[in-house]
Every structure is written in C-alpha cells, then in structure tokens.
Structure 1
Amino acid sequence: MSRLIGLGLLLAGLLYPFAVYFGMEHFAPWQFGLLLGSLWLARALTGERKPGSLWMAGAAIVFCLLLALFDSPLLLRWYPVLISGFMLVLFSLSLKYGPPMVERLARLREPELPDIAIRYTRKVTVAWSVFFFCNGLCAALLTLWAPLDWWMLYTGLISYGLIGLMFAIEWLIRQRVRGRT
C-alpha cells in the first residue's frame, strides 16, 4: 500500500504543474490542497520511517492545509519550491550528518566503495544541493513574477530536463573517474 501511495505522490508531483495550469478552470485551490494533503497524510501514516520522512510529510501537510484554508491560486504555485526545498535539505544535511546522499545511493549497488568513490559521491551530493537550491530559486522567482504559463513550462518541463541533464553529466564524469582508477 505504501508503494502505491509513494507512486501516487510521485505522479502528483510530476503532473502537478500541468494539473494547476489546466485544472484551475475546473477545480478550486482548496481541492488541490485536500487531494495533495490526503496523499501526504497517507504517506505519513503508512510509509517507511526513513530519516526526514515525517518532517517532510508534516511540512507538506501544513502547506496543503494552508492551501485549503486560504484557497489561493498563487499559493498553488509554491509546491514545486517546497519540493526543491525538501531535496535541498535532505542532500545538504546528509553532507553534515553523513553519509552523503549520493554515497547512500551508490552503496545500494556497490556496498564496498573505495575512498576515491566516497570523496566523489560527496562532491556529487554538493552539486545536487546547489542544483536544488537554484531550481527552487527559479521556481520561486517564476511564482512571484512570471505568468502562469512560464511557471508551468519551467516547473513541468524545463526543470525535469535539467534533472536529466544533471544525471547525464554526472554519469559521464563518473565514467571518467572510474577510468582513472
């Protein structure tokens, strides 16, 4: 059940900018808040207890409650900023309290990492932290000063393209680093 809820949250996150852009004519902001808040509440109640999962769910539920309470179309546009903020906090705190997020992910595939790989994963975690800061900043600026269609284009397409580009660049760099060892 928790996997289904996680998949629902993932799909909701991916489709959110389009749902806001095309759904505003048919649904009120409070309805978005209740639907999204229900998914986050279900995740909090049924999901695995991973570091950060409860505070993220709590913050998202508070956001959704505010969205439902104020019924504000402008508030709808802050959700992608919130998600980038979550990712920034997860990645950057993993640098302080360790192990870095990318090292954790790498150890799923290769449990015994050499020292050079551990240093490399730390640098990649820093790069992702910078990316999520910049991505959240762009989404916030678009929320504050851009038309809805620009916001939707960035948060629904461009930011995902940039994530894919980050993955591709990191993969290419990783191949070079591996080739040196």
Structure 2
Amino acid sequence: MTTLLASLLLLAYPLIVYFGLGLVEPRWLAVPLVAVALLRAWRQRDRVWLVVAAGTLVLAVAGLLANAAWPLKLYPLLINAVLLAVFAASLYSPQSVIERLARRMEPDFPPEAVGYTRKVTQVWCGFFLFNGSLSLLTALWGDAATWALYNGLISYLLMGVLFAGEWLVRRRVRAGRNHA
C-alpha cells in the first residue's frame, strides 16, 4: 500500500509542485519529495531506486539550500536519465529490459522475438532521451505552468501513446508470425 501511495505521489509530483509553489516556499516542497523517494527506495530495495533516491536527495538539498524551485523541477529529468541508463545498459547484456519483461509474461518466449525486443528497448531509449530533454527545457526555460503541463500530463500521454503503439505493432508482428 505504501509503495502504491508513493508511486501515486511521484506521478502527481509536477502538479504538487505547481500548486504548492503558490502556497509555500520551494524549500518546503523538497521535504515530501525526499520522504517519498526514500520510502520507495526502502520498500523496493533495488539499486535503481537507490540511485533515484540519491539523485532526489541532491536535488532536494539544492532546493532547500537555495530555496529555489528549479532543482525540484529537475526530478522528471532525473527519472528519465536513470531509465535511459537502465534501458541502454541492457542493450549490452544478453537480455534487454523489454526482453526480460516479455519473458515474465510469456514463459515460452520465441527466439525470433529477441531482435524485436531489442528494437523496442532502443525505441524506449529514444523516448527517454527525447522526454528528458523536453523536461529539462521546461524546467530551465518554461514557466511553472508549462513545466507542470508537460511533466504532469503531456509526457504521460506520450508514454501511453508509445505503450499503445508498441502493443499494436506487437499484435501485428505476432499475427504475421502465426500466419507464416
């Protein structure tokens, strides 16, 4: 339950920052961010989340010390950078991230699907690079509303479009494979 709550709070983070900036100083918005990130890292006990928690702590301390919003706005960039690193590193291992996920859902994973999952992993790497870049641009040069709109809605919609598009392509590839 606490992991779900932490996940929902992190998803809503851009909106919390946007509305919170009108109510409290930026330094006070850093405190719940650190608490949620540390809670999630503690609950997950995963290296990736420990890296995210450490990066979050750095951003939050910068926000606390400077009493500025810009370090807090870099959190979505941090998430994209970590995910890009994880997905890209998996391309140099025997199984890509997408292949590992696919094998969990489909125990009889066909060998010919390995190439497809590598391509999907590469597409996600491109997405994280693109999304992280736009997140950085909105954090540094956009106003609070633009930052919140992109990072709290548009980026999630783009991710949903990518998920849905990949699902449709995968169905088509499977249908072609089953008819061959």
Identity %: 39
**3-state DSSP of counterpart to 1:97:** coil
**3-state DSSP of counterpart to 2:109:** coil
Aligned-pair distance for 1:5? Answer: 3.6
Distance in 1 between residues matched to 2:149 and 2:51, nearest whole Å: 29
Aligned-pair distance for 1:98? Answer: 4.1
TM-score, normalization by structure 1: 0.90
Matched, 1:141 2:137: yes
Match of 1:72 in 2: 68
Instruction: Give yes or no for contact 2:6–2:39 (8 Å, CA) kept in 1.
Output: no
User: How many aligned positions are there?
Assistant: 177
Distance in 1 between residues matched to 2:165 and 2:112, nearest whole Å: 19
> Please, which runs of 5 or more residues in structure 2 have no aligned partner?
none
Distance in 1 between residues matched to 2:42 and 2:10, nearest whole Å: 19
Question: CA offsets, 1:10-50, max 9 Å, x none?
Answer: 2122111111111112122222211111122223333233x
Aligned-pair distance for 1:57? Answer: 2.2
Match of 2:175 in 1: 179
Aligned-pair distance for 1:115? Answer: 1.6
- How well do the aligned residues superpose, as a CA RMSD in angstroms? 1.6
- Please point out which of 110, 116, 121 is paired with 1:114: 110
Change in Cα spacing, 1:72 to 1:126, as seen in structure 2 (3 Å) is same
- The aligned amino acid for 1:13 is L
Instruction: Give yes or no for contact 1:5–1:39 (8 Å, CA) kept in 2.
Output: no
Match of 1:47 in 2: 44
Moved over 4 A (4+): none
Distance in 1 between residues matched to 2:50 and 2:73, nearest whole Å: 23
> Please, which runs of 5 or more residues in structure 1 have no aligned partner?
none
Instruction: Give yes or no for contact 1:30–1:71 (8 Å, CA) kept in 2.
Output: yes
Instruction: Give yes or no for contact 2:60–2:72 (8 Å, CA) kept in 1.
Output: no
Superposed, 1:24-173 pairs within 5 Å as 24-49=21-46, 51-173=47-169
TM-score, normalization by structure 2: 0.90
